[in-house]
Amino acid sequence: DGGITQSPKYLFRKEGQNVTLSCEQNLNHDAMYWYRQDPGQGLRLIYYSQIVNDFQKGDIAEGYSVSREKKESFPLTVTSAQKNPTAFYLCASKPQGTTNEKLFFGSGTQLSVL
Amino acid sequence: DAKTTQPPSMDCAEGRAANLPCNHSTISGNEYVYWYRQIHSQGPQYIIHGLKNNETNEMASLIITEDRKSSTLILPHATLRDTAVYYCIVRVPWGGGSQGNLIFGKGTKLSVKP
């Protein structure tokens, strides 16, 4: 089945540690996004990529990094510089060059600090 | 992108229609109205979108007022599985010269009760 897969479902980070969240899609979508969601809040954009080897900062990029070496994959690294990383992280994708803003979301990764 | 206003929460009896309002009084002529929903601990799910005409699909109906300053999402026969946070978003389509992302606010928490 086509879709967008995030792993792991739950992740724990120790102080000073970098962790990487995986996002893979087999929908042949060009654009991919990472959002952060805190309890009871909406979604805030961290990074997005419209095409392979290119990505842009979103509203809250500090303390995060991404790469887009393959169309299918858009991993997010939460670095030690992110002082409050505990949140629900959502990855999304959509085809490029369309007027339909229909985003497809993964099931999310809950990151907690030990 | 125009800002939206939604009530923070609503209740609906199972089997009845759920009518979720959204105010977007500053919407511009080329901005679409999108609705997504998010069931607890999952990624948001696209529901429907429209520009000025009313729209219907297998999930819901979207009613947009003639002046386009507000809209209503209608779930015709709500079930317990429709309990979720519903997000109303207005946005210029990707091809309309705007780059970036959909802005998800706090939405409306709909509770469907037996």
Task: For residue range A86-99, list pLDDT tens digits in order.
Answer: 999 999 998 876 66
| Phi, psi for residue A87 in degrees, rounded to 5 | -175, 175
Computed on alpha carbons and rounded to an integer, the radius of gyration of chain A in Å comes to: 13
Contacting residues of A for B96, CB less than 8 Å apart: 99
pLDDT above 90 covers what percent of chain A?
A: 69
Answer left, alpha or beta for residue A40, where phi above 0 means left and psi between -120 and 50 means alpha. left
How many contacts (CB atoms, under 8 Å) link A and B?
65
pLDDT-derived band at B95, boundaries 50, 70, 90 = very low
Contact residues on chain A for B41, CB-CB shorter than 8 A: 88, 108, 110
Residue A102: per-residue pLDDT: 84
pLDDT score of B97: 39
Q: What is the largest CA-CA distance in chain A?
A: 43
Q: Do B104 and A88 touch (CB under 8 A)?
A: no
Q: Which of B44, B91, B100 sits opposite A105 (nearest CB)?
A: B44
Task: Give pLDDT tens digits for A51-71.
Answer: 999 999 998 999 999 999 999
A82: exposed, middle or buried (C-beta count within 10 Å: 0-12, 13-18, 19+)?
buried
Element (H, E) at A112: strand A109-113
B83 compared with A95, residue with greater pLDDT: B83
Pick the residue from chain A with its C-alpha nearest to B43: A107
Q: Is the pLDDT of residue B71 over 70?
A: yes
pLDDT at B100 over 80: no
* Burial call B39-64: b when 16+ CB within 10 Å, e when fewer: eeeebbebbbbbeeeebeeeebbbbb
Q: Is A34 on the interface with B (CB under 8 A)?
A: no
When CB atoms are compared, the residue of B87, B93, B105 closest to A101 is B93
Determine which of A34, A36, A43, A93 to mutate to test the interface with B (most B C-beta atoms within 10 Å). Answer: A43
Tens digits of residue pLDDT in B7-54: 999 999 999 999 999 999 988 888 889 999 999 889 999 999 999 989
